[in-house]
Amino acid sequence: MGETTHAVRRRLLPWALTLLGAMVAVVVVVSLLVTQGRGEPSDPVPGEVQVADGGASCELLDPGDRDLRIMFVGDSMTQGRAGSASYRYWVWRGLQEKRDDVAFVGPTIALNGSDAPEGYEHLDHGFDDNLFHAAQAKSTFESLEAQYPVADLVRDHEPDVVVLQLGFNDANARKATPEVIAARTADYMKQVWAVDAELGRERTRFVLGQIPTAEQPSKQVTTEAKNERTDAANELIEQQWGSRPCLVQVNRLRTGSRLTWSPAEYTYDGSHPDAPGETLMADRMLSAMGRLGVFDGKVRVYDADETWDPAPRIAAGVLDDGRVRVTWEGERERSSADAIRLQILTDGERQRSAWTDTPSTTLSLGPGTHELRAQVRRGLPGRMVSEPGPAVTVEVPE
C-alpha cells in the first residue's frame, strides 16, 4: 500500500510542476501588462515601432511644410554665458550636417550677462537666426514655470521637440529628493502634452538632459550628497521614460558608454561647461535626437581640443612719459571674464603681464614697436583661458 502511494506521487509531481509553472507565467504576464498600464503616456505613440530588443526604430520627424521646431528649456547650462558659444550652438552645427529644415524657437535669445546677439562667441552657419530658447540662469522647475509658463511656450512656439535640461538647481534644496526631481520632470512633460491635446497637435517629443555631477557644494547640501541625489533622480527618470523611445530620449551625459561628464574636466567652475564641455553636452543631445527620429544616422561634435575664443579687444596709447596705457572697458563684461592679462611681442621676444581684474593697466615697455594682445580667464584658475584677441600695435619713441 505505501509503495503504491509513493509511486502515484512520483507520477503526479511532474504534472503539478508544469501546472504551477504555467500559473506563474500567467501571473508574470498580467503583472507586466498592469505595470505598463501605469506608465505615462499609456496610449500608442504615432511613429513608434517597438523592436524585440527593447529599442526602437523611430520614423524621421517630418513637420510637413514648415521647419522642424526645437525648443531648449533649462537653466544656465542651456542659456549659456556672455562670451561663450553655448552648447546650443554646437547642437545647431551638428543638425546642419543632417537637415536644413530646423529652427530653434523660444521666447528669448538672452545669455546670462547679455541680451544682445553679440554676446555669443559664435554666430556663424545661420546660428545668428536661431538663438531662441526658454532657459534662465539659476532656474528650478518652479521658477522657470513662473517666468515662462509651459502653456504659453507650447501655444506660442508649437515645438516639435523640447530639450529639457533642468533639475541641477532643484537638487540644491534640502527637501528636493530624487523622487521630487523625477516627479517635477514628469509633471513638466505632462503639462506640455496636455496643451498639445487641447490644440489637437501630435505629442511633443522630449530629449531629457541628465543632471550632471557638480564639483562645488550648494548652500544646503554637500557636493557628495547632491551628486548622489541627482544620480538617483537620473535613474528614476530613465526608468520611468525609457520605455517610450520614440517619444522620449535621455541624453546620457552622465552614464554614456564612451565619455562621461567630469566637472573637473569639462567645467570652468565646477558646474558650468567650458568650451570642450559645451561640445560634449551638445554631442550627447545630438545622440539622443538621432535616436528620437530628428535625423538619420549619427553626427559627432565633441572636441576635446575646442578653444575659447571670445576675441577680447583692447585699446592702447603712449603717455607723455613713454609708458603704455592699456584699457579694456567692457571686455570683461562682454566675455564674462574674471581677469585679463596681456601677451606682449617686442622685436621677436614674448612676455606677458600678470592677471588683473582692474579696467586698465600701465606698462613700462621701453622704446620700440610693441604688439599687444589680451587674454581673459573665467572660473577656477587655469580652467578656462581664452585665445589671445586681436593685436594692437604701439610705437614708443626713443
Q: For the residues 29-51, what does the mean pLDDT come to?
A: 36
Does the pLDDT of residue 56 top 90, yes or no? no
pLDDT of residue 81: 98
Q: What is the mean pLDDT of the chain?
A: 88
- Least-confidence region, from 50-54, 116-120, 232-236: 50-54
* Higher-confidence position of 2 and 180: 180
- Least-confidence region, from 35-39, 91-95, 145-149, 202-206: 35-39
Q: For the residues 253-257, what does the mean pLDDT come to?
A: 88
Q: Give residue limits of the domains in the chain.
A: 68-292, 315-396
- Least-confidence region, from 202-216, 226-240, 248-262: 248-262
pLDDT of residue 210: 98
SS (H, E, C) the chain: CHHHHHHHHHHHHHHHHHHHHHHHHHHHHHHHHHHHHHCCCCCCCCCCCECCCCCECCCCCCCCCCCEEEEEEECHHHHCECCCCCHHHHHHHHHHCCCCCEEEECCECCEECECCHHHCCCCCCCHHHCCCEEECCCCCHHHHHHHCCHHHHHHHHCCCEEEEECCCCHHHCCCCCHHHHHHHHHHHHHHHHHHHHHHCCCCCEEEECCCCCCCCCCCCCCHHHHHHHHHHHHHHHHHHHCCCCCCEEECCCCCCCCCCCCHHHHECCCCCECHHHHHHHHHHHHHHHHHHCCCCCCCCCCCCCCCCCCCCCCEEEECCCCCEEEECCCHHHHCCCCEEEEEEEECCEEEECCCECCCEEEECCCCEEEEEEEEEEECCCCCEECCCCCCEEEEECC
Bridge pairing between strands 205-208 and 248-250: parallel
Does the pLDDT of residue 365 top 90, yes or no? yes
* Higher-confidence position of 23 and 230: 230
Domain 68-292: homologous superfamily in CATH: SGNH hydrolase (3.40.50.1110)
Does the pLDDT of residue 12 top 70, yes or no? no
Indicate the pLDDT class of residue 398, thresholds 50, 70 and 90: confident
Indicate the pLDDT class of residue 23, thresholds 50, 70 and 90: very low
Fold of the 315-396 domain: Immunoglobulin-like (2.60.40)
* Higher-confidence position of 302 and 46: 302
Does the pLDDT of residue 50 top 70, yes or no? no
pLDDT of residue 125: 97
Q: For the residues 16-42, what does the mean pLDDT come to?
A: 38
Indicate the pLDDT class of residue 218, thresholds 50, 70 and 90: confident
Percent of the chain's residues with pLDDT above 70:
86
Q: For the residues 273-288, what does the mean pLDDT come to?
A: 98
Does the pLDDT of residue 179 top 60, yes or no? yes
Contacts of 46 (CB under 8 A, 6+ apart): 202, 203
Q: For the residues 5-21, what does the mean pLDDT come to?
A: 39
pLDDT of residue 300: 96
Does the pLDDT of residue 3 top 60, yes or no? no
Q: For the residues 144-152, what does the mean pLDDT come to?
A: 98
pLDDT of residue 44: 37
* Higher-confidence position of 42 and 131: 131
pLDDT of residue 93: 98
Q: Locate 270 and state its grid cell.
A: 565646477
Q: Locate 383 and state its grid cell.
A: 580652467
Does the pLDDT of residue 28 top 60, yes or no? no
Query: For 309-328, what is each residue's pLDDT tens digit?
Result: 999 999 999 999 999 999 99
Q: For the residues 279-302, what does the mean pLDDT come to?
A: 97
Percent of the chain's residues with pLDDT above 90:
81
Query: For 325-354, what is each residue's pLDDT tens digit?
Result: 999 988 999 999 999 999 999 999 999 999
pLDDT of residue 20: 41
Does the pLDDT of residue 205 top 60, yes or no? yes
**395 phi and psi angles, rounded to 5 deg:** -110, 120
Does the pLDDT of residue 48 top 60, yes or no? no
